[in-house]
């Protein structure tokens, strides 16, 4: 009998994650392979013609310039010694899941994949966890012990207090549950905090469902509040947005009257899912919402990796890595 990841104890889940990642993904980012994202580094990779107003004079390749009498600059591959920062959304909607794993467990798996794949001599991993209780910070350190400590903390995080089942379908986000309580930081505040505290260029991975910060109806008629901080972060770092979703967030099943719960406020609503018109309008609205999220990530200049709780997340990561490698090769083949 197959045991799902969510049914294992935390220590066994960590061991299972490590085995899955090292067996199926190991070697993709080592040796001559490119990293999760192509970008500026320190490994010499050739030269190309100088572009006025775009290139820095300090990167000038004087030997090639002298031979060709045309100004050239050095090109480089991604650094082998990498500082990686992970920002994890710990809000209530991340506790949702109707497939083999919940979104929060898929977020832990994504962090584990990034950690194990970028681990190496001199590489360091730091983390931020944004939740109702504030932002928890983990300094950037190297080593397997440090990574496992971060993963244990993520697995053992208490769930955000919310009403008992039925399961919530997090269609829009509210942050104030008790009018007298002080709302915790949102995704935008977490991204801005990371941007202020991390000065050296590196890889930043934001793991979230990105439902926080949308407008009141959740459809994205206005830019999300996290778009501008993400754009500022991407101007200084390589940014990968890991977008975690669940199949029930994309479409409603025909199961009669369904009680839907807002995971942030606890408000409930009875929905007659047998109505075909309602299901179609829901799917159209979710498509609009997801397009808003994807568009904001693209405008911010971040790469996007979509993971779903009902799909093979390891295969999705493999496809993303190979796609980035193809982009890197294509960039190097451009005329110089």
Q: Are 181 and 264 in contact (CB under 8 A)?
A: no
Q: 298 in a domain, yes or no?
A: yes
Q: 123 in a domain, yes or no?
A: yes
Instruction: Identify the CATH number of the domain in which residue 162 sits.
Output: 3.40.50.410
Do 160 and 52 have their domain in common?
no
Give the pLDDT confidence score for residue 329 in this predicted structure: 65
Residue 40 is classified by DSSP as -
Do 70 and 138 have their domain in common?
no
Do 48 and 109 have their domain in common?
no
Give the pLDDT confidence score for residue 328 in this predicted structure: 65
Number of domains forming the structure of the chain: 2
Q: 38 in a domain, yes or no?
A: no
Do 259 and 112 have their domain in common?
yes
Do 64 and 203 have their domain in common?
no
d(CA 42, CA 202): 12
Nearest to 204, CA basis, from 124, 148, 145, 133: 124
Do 58 and 146 have their domain in common?
no
Q: Residues 286-289: contacts with CB within 8 Å, 24+ apart? A: 286/171, 286/249, 286/250, 286/251, 288/219, 288/220, 289/171, 289/214, 289/218, 289/219, 289/220
Give the pLDDT confidence score for residue 163 in this predicted structure: 43
Q: 309 in a domain, yes or no?
A: yes
Q: 264 in a domain, yes or no?
A: yes
pLDDT, tens digit only, all 336 positions of the chain: 444 555 555 677 777 777 777 776 665 544 434 455 554 544 455 678 888 877 778 788 888 888 888 888 887 655 556 789 999 999 888 988 888 788 999 999 999 988 887 777 678 999 999 988 888 999 999 888 899 899 988 888 887 654 444 444 444 443 333 444 445 688 999 999 999 999 888 899 999 999 988 887 777 678 899 999 999 999 989 999 999 999 988 888 888 888 887 776 678 888 888 889 988 998 999 999 999 999 999 999 999 999 999 998 888 888 887 777 777 666 656 555
Secondary structure element (H or E) that encloses residue 285, with its range: helix 276-300
What are the DSSP calls for 223-248, one per residue? --TTHHHHHHHHHHSEEEEEEEE-GG
- β-partners of residue 271 are 258
Q: 175 in a domain, yes or no?
A: yes
Write down which residue in 58, 77, 96 finishes a domain. Answer: 77
The domain containing residue 63 runs over which residues? 43-77
Q: 215 in a domain, yes or no?
A: yes
Structure tokens at 248: 């029930």
Do 61 and 18 have their domain in common?
no
Phi and psi, residue 234, nearest 5°: -70, -20
Do 72 and 132 have their domain in common?
no
Do 25 and 70 have their domain in common?
no
Q: Report H helices in 120-173.
A: 144-156
Do 27 and 138 have their domain in common?
yes
Q: 272 in a domain, yes or no?
A: yes
Give the pLDDT confidence score for residue 165 in this predicted structure: 43
Which pTM was predicted? 0.75
Nearest to 85, CA basis, from 229, 199, 235, 209: 199
Write down which residue in 77, 99, 129 finishes a domain. Answer: 77
d(CA 21, CA 18): 5
Do 190 and 103 have their domain in common?
yes
Do 199 and 72 have their domain in common?
no
């Amino acid at each position: 009998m197959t045991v799902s990841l969510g049914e294992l104890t935390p220590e066994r889940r960590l061991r299972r994650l490590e085995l899955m990642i090292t067996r199926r993904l190991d070697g993709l980012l080592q040796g001559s392979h490119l990293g999760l994202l192509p970008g500026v580094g320190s490994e010499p990779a050739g030269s190309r013609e100088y572009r006025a107003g775009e290139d820095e004079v300090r990167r000038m390749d004087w030997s090639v310039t002298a031979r060709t009498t045309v100004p050239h600059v050095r090109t480089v591959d991604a650094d082998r010694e990498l500082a990686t920062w992970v920002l994890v959304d710990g809000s209530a909607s991340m506790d949702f899941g109707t497939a083999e794993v919940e979104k929060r467990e898929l977020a832990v798996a994504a962090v584990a994949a990034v950690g194990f794949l970028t681990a190496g001599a001199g590489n360091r991993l730091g983390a931020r966890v944004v939740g109702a209780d504030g932002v928890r910070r983990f300094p950037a350190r190297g080593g397997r012990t440090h990574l496992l400590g971060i993963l244990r903390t993520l697995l053992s995080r208490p769930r955000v207090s919310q009403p008992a089942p039925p399961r919530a379908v997090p269609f829009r986000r509210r942050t104030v549950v008790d009018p007298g309580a002080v709302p915790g930081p949102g995704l935008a505040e977490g991204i801005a905090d990371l941007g202020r505290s991390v000065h050296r260029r590196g890889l930043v991975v934001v793991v979230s469902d990105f439902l926080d910060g949308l407008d009141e109806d959740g459809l994205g008629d206005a830019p999300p509040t996290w778009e501008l901080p993400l754009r500022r972060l991407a101007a200084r770092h390589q940014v990968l947005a890991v977008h975690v979703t669940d199949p029930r967030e994309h479409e409603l099943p025909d199961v009669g009257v369904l009680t839907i719960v807002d995971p942030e406020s606890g408000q409930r609503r009875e929905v007659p899912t047998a109505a075909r018109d309602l299901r179609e309008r829901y799917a159209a609205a979710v498509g609009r919402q997801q397009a808003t999220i994807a568009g904001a990530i693209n405008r911010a200049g971040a790469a996007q990796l979509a993971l779903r709780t009902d799909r093979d997340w390891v295969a999705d990561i493999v496809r993303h890595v190979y796609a980035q490698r193809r982009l890197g090769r294509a960039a190097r083949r451009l005329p110089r």
